[in-house]
């Protein structure tokens, strides 16, 4: 794929086929994502992938916690507040409204997709040390974006999802993450189920116009 195709294909996939992702390909993607820039080349990320039986068991326990109504406690929780009194909160409200408008009475597809970990055959967890400066979160985001674009370039689909890190202790157990690392973000990787309604390719959340986000001074 050329770069523009890869970039324009980058949208959240919320239902994956059960088709496996090769371990060799996954390792290659992570190796290539190592080229990402970071503050003073600090490379603060660690990458933990979960697949196979470990993924099945993790998913089972995750679903049980969701069903029991356990409150999410993401390690980055402080970064995600729906009470942000800033323009992103308005964008989130608009996102919710666009989902309701497009999916109407099928809105539960989103919840179902999240609750079943999108059926992603590979869950990739990204961590930084607990004692990290904010720069490391920035670096981690860049690494995540590199990994997602590299995966799409190889015909894979991706979902970055905070719901996947809702219960960090569970993730720690199955992904073997040490206590001194924050479970920052997770990316589900696999092959898209193109027939799944939740993946409707006509549904792409709108972006703000250039004038809302960009100002040039000279």
Does residue 199 bind ligand FMN (CB under 6 A)?
no
* DSSP secondary structure letter of residue 75: T
Secondary structure (3-state) at 41: helix
Selected binder of ligand FMN within 161, 170, 171, 189 (CB under 6 A) = 161
| Helix residue ranges per DSSP H, 104-206 | 108-115, 134-153, 168-175
Binding piece for ligand FMN, criterion CB under 6 A, among 6-14, 21-29, 44-52, 173-181: 6-14
* 9 touches ligand FMN (CB under 6 A): no
Q: Which of 136, 163, 182, 199 binds ligand FMN (CB under 6 A)?
A: 163
CA distance 204 to 188: 18
Binding residue (CB under 6 A) for ligand FMN from 7, 84, 87, 95: 95
Which of these segments, 10-18, 24-32, 83-91, 167-175, binds ligand FMN (CB under 6 A)?
Answer: 10-18
Q: What is the DSSP letter of 16?
A: B
DSSP string for 179-206: TTEEEEEEEEEE-B-TT-GGG-TT--PP
Distance of closest approach, residue 185 Cβ to ligand FMN, in angstroms: 6
Contact call for residue 205 and ligand FMN (CB under 6 A)? yes
Q: Is 114 one of the binding residues for ligand FMN (CB under 6 A)?
A: yes
Name which position in 12, 140, 158, 189 contacts ligand FMN (CB under 6 A): 12
Q: Which of 188, 177, 63 is nearest to 130 (CA)?
A: 177
Q: Which is nearer to ligand FMN, 76 or 135 (CB)?
A: 76
Backbone angles phi, psi at 122, to 5 degrees: -130, 130
Rg (CA), the chain: 18
Q: Using CB under 6 A as the criterion, which residues of the chain lie in contact with ligand FMN when the complex forms?
A: 11-12, 14, 95, 114, 160-163, 185, 204-205
């Amino acid at each position: 794929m050329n770069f523009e195709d890869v970039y324009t294909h980058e949208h959240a996939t919320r239902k994956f086929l059960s088709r496996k992702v090769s371990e060799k390909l996954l390792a290659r993607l992570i190796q290539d994502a190592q080229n990402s820039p970071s503050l003073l080349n600090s490379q603060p990320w660690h990458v933990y992938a979960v697949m196979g039986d470990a993924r099945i068991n993790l998913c089972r326990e995750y679903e049980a916690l969701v069903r029991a109504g356990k409150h999410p406690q993401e390690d980055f929780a402080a970064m995600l507040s729906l009470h942000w009194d800033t323009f992103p909160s308005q964008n989130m409200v608009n996102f919710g409204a666009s989902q309701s408008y497009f999916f109407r009475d099928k809105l539960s597809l989103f919840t179902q997709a999240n609750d079943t970990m999108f059926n992603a055959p590979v869950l990739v967890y990204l961590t930084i040390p607990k004692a990290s400066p904010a720069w490391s979160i920035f670096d981690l985001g860049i690494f995540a974006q590199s990994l997602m674009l590299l995966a799409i370039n190889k015909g894979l689909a991706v979902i970055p999802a905070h719901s996947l890190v809702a219960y960090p202790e569970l993730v720690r157990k199955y992904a073997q993450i040490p206590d001194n690392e924050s479970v920052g973000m997770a990316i589900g990787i696999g092959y898209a189920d193109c027939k799944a309604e939740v993946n409707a390719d006509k549904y792409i959340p709108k972006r703000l116009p250039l004038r809302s986000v960009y100002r040039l001074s000279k």
